[in-house]
Structure 1
Amino acid sequence: MVERSHGVQSWIDRLSQAELPALTSVVRDLQHLSQRSDASVQQLADILLRDATLTSKVLRVANSVYYNPSQESIRTISRAIVLIGFDNVRLISLSVSLIDGLLIQAPRQQLLELLARSFHAAVQARNLGGYVLGNHAEEVFIAALLHHLGELAFWSCGGAQVDELTAALEVPGVDEDEAVRGVLGTSFRQLTQGLAKSWGLGELVSLAHAGSSHADPALRAVQLGVRISEAALQGWGSSEMEAVLGRVAPFIGLNAEEALQQVLASAEEAVKVASTFGAGKLCRLIPSTDPEQIVGQQQARKASLLQPDLLVMQQALQDLGLMANQRGNVDLILDTLLKGLHRGAGLERVMLAVLADEQRCFKVKRVLGEQSEQWLREFVLPAVQVEQPHIFSYALRHREAIWMGVPATYSLNELVTLPIRQSLGTGMFFIAPLMAGNREVGVLYADCRVSGRALRHEQFVAFQRFTLLAGRCLGALSKR
């Protein structure tokens, strides 16, 4: 009977010595080889020839159309290295070892899904790396493939504790990280980093769990590949995928549509790679790129998106009317205002940017809606820019609500400056000044860019009404 493991070192010892010794040995030796500048063909061949089954599988993959389109027969490891390259043979060897080592027993669904996601992430990362790295794309593939190594190893070899964690994760409202810590005594991230250090997997595997501020393009490729594989599970047209594409596009120097096409092509390639490596059962778990299915996903998403709610809007307007006469507090006024615009008028993203720092700049005070949280942290705009006037100061100065993106306001398009487009995106939006009597408070902004739907006349009318009514509330408050 396998003893219960608790804590990161306990799991490292168990996985390395009792459960996965063969995999540990091969992975460690292959990675050590990559770190030696004088590594030879024979040294790589020697590692593989220790295991006849592994050798035969590597040769089968090397002879596949994916790696050997000329179909020139490859019968030895040394010949494979000559024809398809040292790094490719090492990558194939490590991938096949991982599949064999983890799927040796009857694999659980959690393991299959995570391994499929890992292969998807690896191909996405390698192809992104191809845009920004002169070489070392194979290292990026391996780092993304092993990004969830600790979790993969647990679902493969965790024994009774796998059943325990499965049960814990099925409890409604459970915090997944807390459940994992409760059963394992450590997190999956710490287990992956511990195994990476113990197995000598190199810096890239460990650093990929660090924050996104790291400037190394290889590391960014790994992190983006992993995020794409996660977002794809929500649908190619999901808000999660849109957010990831917003980072992918500038990273590889493409626009959003071109970046999506690159990502879709990589997803199709991931299916071929998984099949080539002998993991055909993973193929159906990598999100499909079939155009009809993508359209269906996008339509289903739009159907479920925010819709105007007249009852919510009427209640919010009524509440603001009462507060204009009874002088409600500022927080309640602003909460009612944003709720009315978001849930009532059906505006997907709403933002209040107030004049701050002695009225020298606009800073975000309140937001509501998907993809708007980052504005609280990142959006700052100088209030006055003589050399580059912008739509925020224009709206405040002219004291009128503006519907940008319609013919009547085309003449103002140059006021939507590059910093504004980078922060808020492109397309239609509403903007209006928020006043407290004659005092300038800031600017209200709203759009429907989560879905890309066009804004409607009735929404603009509601936007104007809410803005004026909130101004009356704040004006009444300031007369106290």
Structure 2
Amino acid sequence: MGQCVEIVKNLSGSGATADIHEIAGIILKDISLTTRVLQIANSIEYNRSGKRIVTVSQAIMVLGLAPIRSIAYSILLLEQLPNHAQAEHIRNACLMSVMGGSLARMIAEKAKLEDPEQGFITAAFTQLGKILLATFLPAEQRDMIRMVREEGKTEEEASKLVLGLRMEQLGKQIGEFLNLPTSVTSYMDPFNVSDRDLPQIDRKLLQVTMLTHRACRAVACAKSVAEMEEALRSLSQFKESGINGLDLARGFRNVVQEIGKFYAVRPSGEFWSKAMLLCQSDGKGIAQAPVPEPSASRTPDLQVFQDGVLMATEMMSGDEINLNQLLSVIAETIYLGFKARNVVVAVKDLEQGGAIAAQAAYGLHAVQLRESFVVRPELDAGLLTGMALLNGKDIAIDNAQETHILEHLPTWIATTEPAAFLLLPIMQGEVPVGLLYIDGPLLDASSKAPPEVQRELKIIRKEIVLALRLTGHS
């Protein structure tokens, strides 16, 4: 986070007065950051001149200071997260920051703000408190999550009870302590602007920041697509910005595509999963009544599976295989292909005594399943997860809420209340080395995927087996 703060502090001067070489020097301190900035700066979306950009100084001169600042901030948050015990929660908070910033930039452009990139920074930094909480106060964060899930508290109520203040207040206080520019800190608690900040507040920028923050919170707190759309539709009453709920839904879809295209990581986590679910709905329920969950008559998207298999194959062809990235790609492929509610890719974890444990998860309960999905076949022989692994047979359930099924489900699956699900064991010969779990509305009508999708799933399982063998995990 320190580099992010340094970039925002030092890159917040005006383009006319800032020393380009000094600014370039900040980015050049990190060679990987430099490389990625140049790669993105040369993309057609950013560089419309057609002239190849070969230095950071040139990138600043061609694109301007503000876009480079936003690109660098996004790269640092999305691609250079440490291997931290809280990585999943930190990643979730960082994604919310970058997605909120990107959404604000799009809204600012539509609202014809003079500097849309400033919208990126002000909206992104409203999430600083959430990032700090996940990074430095894990016990407090766990208490807050428990209050929200088990006691029905809002995030704001839980924050006040545990921290004594709202997360936006925490972020702003730390931002001021770090001497972030007032052009940033003035907007970091957008719903409680102080009298001291009022003289320099751009009212329209404040409205965009508030709207984006509310939209991200709506998606993060929703429990279904319909609930997300209802929340975003209610924001269409927020007339000052000239943006409606449909604009927000479209904006989220564009942001998901932008992040998926530009950044070298495969995003994951609960917030990202919910944003993708919203994208799949295409915002059709925003302008009218809430749309129902996807119907069982819809079929899996074969093209998504084929593209995902191709990508996984390409990842396997390199000199080194990044197992975590590969499994994340596979999980995302299944998630999007089935338009699933939850997907888990679990493989043998040597650190847990060879138990089959979640390594990648997408969906409404991604964080919960990622933390709790562990199967020990012999000990779990009475549960469906254990049966699938011990017998090496696929299990398809389309009546998951019936008592005789619930009795044979692990608690951590039962509490997510699936209507239908698949358990697909990953076998190396006769030995189980992994398990795919998929639940969602497309599984309600049929206990099996279409034959062509089944073929792709077989290929996926074979690739996982090969990857585990090549990386020494089996």
> What TM-score, normalized by structure 2, do the two folds share?
0.50
Which structure exhibits the higher relative contact order, with contacts defined as CA atoms closer than 8 Å and separated by 6 or more residues? Answer: 1
The structure in which a higher percent of residues are helix is 1
Structure (1 or 2) with the larger CA radius of gyration: 1
